[in-house]
Structure 1
């Protein structure tokens, strides 16, 4: 078994993932963690799987950069995808990241978030009623994917009749973030960015002419918001509206889908939650740990730096395997067990920022 694990770690190639890996990546993650926790891939990228190494990388923003211009330039060229991803909050370093994040978080007022609760309850009740009427459902299409689109649509006050293309635009843009991108996938991603920007330009122009309730309308707050005399530029505004949808769409859909599957596969935990609904908060945290919505993160070294006992040169691409770190036994006792009451649960589903 040990020899098999070593072979599994030795042969791992992020650019040639197998159907078996996609079905269950955790044996591979374990093999890497135990045998090559700082794995050098054929393309020069370093792949990290230990919890402590990921935390160290996330916290060392001086040596490990989130800026993706160097990585994305050869991948996308001078295209809408390149402009979008290098303008988005998540792929920038301080001070730009700090300024944009402050302006966006300032727009997400507690009142705006609290004001969505009633509509969200109605939405979920309606989805469940439709499923009950059919007697069956496709979990993602009929339930999980519908929720984040409507929530973000409500947040930005996108008219219901205009929400149809949002999900496909989001999927096309996010699909182009895969390690290997075909020309067709890139073309769909670029087209989606172009179409999404054109729509947002129209939506923002309408909102400027007729602002919404600034206490509840996040788009109006993003347009009018100011911190220390600064506002979002038009480019930052448009691209980070796309980012808000993309960030909330895929991760939330995955959380709902993965969480419900985990409950179905662990009937004891499902019954435990039914009997003790007060466990819902720790249950959601465990869903995020057990099947992380986002499996991978990326950084680029800005200087020579050591991680996990391995010295990396400046300019090294680093992939952080969140899914592996969230099942590291050095951090989580009995990590392969789905436990809806697990505490503490310092998972890395949101890196170290949440």
Structure 2
């Protein structure tokens, strides 16, 4: 087995993944972590799998940059995808990152998120009513994917009758972040960016004419700027404004959909933990943290070295692309005892599902709230639910979730 693991690590190529890997990447991640934790891939990228190495990289913003202009130029060329991904919050360094993040965080304060709870419960209960009336459930389409789209739509105050294309745009744009992007996927992503920008231009124009409450409406807050423009008159450029609205939808949609879907499937596959949560509903917060660790919605992060730097005993030259494998780090036995076990009572649970450091997810409190309400209320309403067919993965490595999960509700 040790020889097999060494061969698995030696032959690993992020650009040549197998169906078996997409189904279950964790044996490969374990082999890498144990044999080549700082793995040089054929394309020159360094692939990290140890928890401590990821934390070091996240926190050392001097040596490891989030700016993707150099990396994305050959991948996308001069296209809408390139403009979007090099403008959005997540792929920028301070001060651009700091300015945009501060504006967004103001609308995602603890007080603001607490104020969303009643509407979120109402939304979830409405979806559960529809599932009960139907008598069966496609877990992603009927439930998991419907929640974050509405939540982010509410944050940006997108009219309900204009939300239909949002999910398809998001999936197409995020699909182009995979390590290998087909011409067809790139074309879908570029069209989605163009269509989304065209829609946002009209939405922003309407909001400028009729502003919302910046305490609750993120779009109004981004338009008006920090302190409603009073602090040095600072505003986002039009390009920054539009692309970070796209980022907000993408960041808030796919990962939360995956949290809910992955979490409910994990409970189905671990009936002892499912029953434990049914018997102890107050464990939902630790259960959500374990779901985030066990099947991280976002499996990969990226940085580029700005200088020659040592990491995990390996010297990296300036300009080295670094991929941080969150899915592997979250199962590192050096940090998590018995990491392959799904334990809804696990504490402490310092997982990296939301990263750490300056780029820690700005919406993590909202994602946790959505996950807790959605999963707890689904379980309370349908305690005998069961996956009754083969769940379909999306064939993605960066974002780990399901495209469809057939489900009987009992």
TM bucket (normalised to shorter chain) is over 0.9
Runs of 4 or more off by more than 6 Å in structure 1? Answer: none
Q: What is the rounded CA distance, in whole Å, between the counterparts of 1:179 and 1:194 in structure 2?
A: 22
Q: What is the rounded CA distance, in whole Å, between the counterparts of 2:214 and 2:323 in structure 1?
A: 39
Tell me: CA distance 1:127–1:99, structure 2 relative to 1, closer, same or farther (3 Å): same
Q: What is the rounded CA distance, in whole Å, between the counterparts of 2:286 and 2:111 in structure 1?
A: 24
Cα RMSD after superposing both structures? 2.2
Q: What is the rounded CA distance, in whole Å, between the counterparts of 2:111 and 2:336 in structure 1?
A: 36
Deviates more, 1:176-185 or 1:214-223: 214-223
Q: Is the 8 A contact 1:47 1:318 kept in 2?
A: yes
Q: What is the rounded CA distance, in whole Å, between the counterparts of 1:305 and 1:315 in structure 2?
A: 10
Report the alpha carbon displacement of residue 272 of structure 1 after superposing the two structures with TM. Answer: 1.1
Report the alpha carbon displacement of residue 105 of structure 1 after superposing the two structures with TM. Answer: 1.3
1:263 pairs with one of 255, 267, 270 = 267
Q: What is the rounded CA distance, in whole Å, between the counterparts of 1:291 and 1:342 in structure 2?
A: 14
Q: Is the 8 A contact 1:80 1:194 kept in 2?
A: yes
Report the alpha carbon displacement of residue 236 of structure 1 after superposing the two structures with TM. Answer: 1.0
Q: Is the 8 A contact 1:112 1:218 kept in 2?
A: no
Tell me: CA distance 1:202–1:311, structure 2 relative to 1, closer, same or farther (3 Å): same
Report the alpha carbon displacement of residue 233 of structure 1 after superposing the two structures with TM. Answer: 1.6
Deviations 1:163-210 (A, max 9, x none): 000000000000100111111111111110011011011001001111
Q: What is the rounded CA distance, in whole Å, between the counterparts of 2:305 and 2:202 in structure 1?
A: 39
Deviations 1:139-163 (A, max 9, x none): 1111101110000001111000000
Tell me: CA distance 1:110–1:334, structure 2 relative to 1, closer, same or farther (3 Å): closer
Deviations 1:88-140 (A, max 9, x none): 00000112111111122123344543332222112111111111122211111
- Map 1:60-79; keep pairs closer than 5 Å: 60-79=60-79
Secondary structure of the residue aligned to 2:15 is coil
Deviates more, 1:260-269 or 1:209-218: 209-218
Counterpart in the other structure of 1:30: 30
Q: Is the 8 A contact 1:106 1:225 kept in 2?
A: no
Q: TM-score, normalised by structure 1?
A: 0.97
Report the alpha carbon displacement of residue 229 of structure 1 after superposing the two structures with TM. Answer: 3.5
Q: What is the rounded CA distance, in whole Å, between the counterparts of 2:110 and 2:338 in structure 1?
A: 37
Which runs of no fewer than 5 residues in structure 1 stay unpaired?
none
Secondary structure of the residue aligned to 2:86 is helix
Counterpart in the other structure of 1:350: 354
Secondary structure of the residue aligned to 1:311 is strand
Secondary structure of the residue aligned to 1:338 is coil
Report the alpha carbon displacement of residue 237 of structure 1 after superposing the two structures with TM. Answer: 1.0
Q: What is the rounded CA distance, in whole Å, between the counterparts of 1:47 and 1:344 in structure 2?
A: 26
Q: What is the rounded CA distance, in whole Å, between the counterparts of 1:27 and 1:197 in structure 2?
A: 40
Tell me: CA distance 1:245–1:191, structure 2 relative to 1, closer, same or farther (3 Å): same
Q: What is the rounded CA distance, in whole Å, between the counterparts of 1:59 and 1:280 in structure 2?
A: 29
1:320 pairs with one of 324, 327, 340 = 324
Q: What is the rounded CA distance, in whole Å, between the counterparts of 2:154 and 2:176 in structure 1?
A: 26
1:242 pairs with one of 241, 246, 268 = 246
Secondary structure of the residue aligned to 1:272 is helix
Q: What is the rounded CA distance, in whole Å, between the counterparts of 2:257 and 2:56 in structure 1?
A: 29
Which runs of no fewer than 5 residues in structure 2 stay unpaired?
357-409
Deviations 1:8-37 (A, max 9, x none): 111111001100001111100000000111
Deviations 1:318-347 (A, max 9, x none): 111000000000000010111111111110
Counterpart in the other structure of 1:102: 102
Deviates more, 1:138-147 or 1:206-215: 206-215
Q: TM-score, normalised by structure 2?
A: 0.84
Q: What is the rounded CA distance, in whole Å, between the counterparts of 1:214 and 1:107 in structure 2?
A: 7
Q: Is the 8 A contact 2:107 2:216 kept in 1?
A: no
Q: Is the 8 A contact 2:106 2:215 kept in 1?
A: no
Deviates more, 1:209-218 or 1:44-53: 209-218
Pairs aligned (count)? 353
Secondary structure of the residue aligned to 1:211 is coil
Q: Is the 8 A contact 2:196 2:246 kept in 1?
A: yes
Report the alpha carbon displacement of residue 228 of structure 1 after superposing the two structures with TM. Answer: 4.8
Q: What is the rounded CA distance, in whole Å, between the counterparts of 2:175 and 2:59 in structure 1?
A: 28
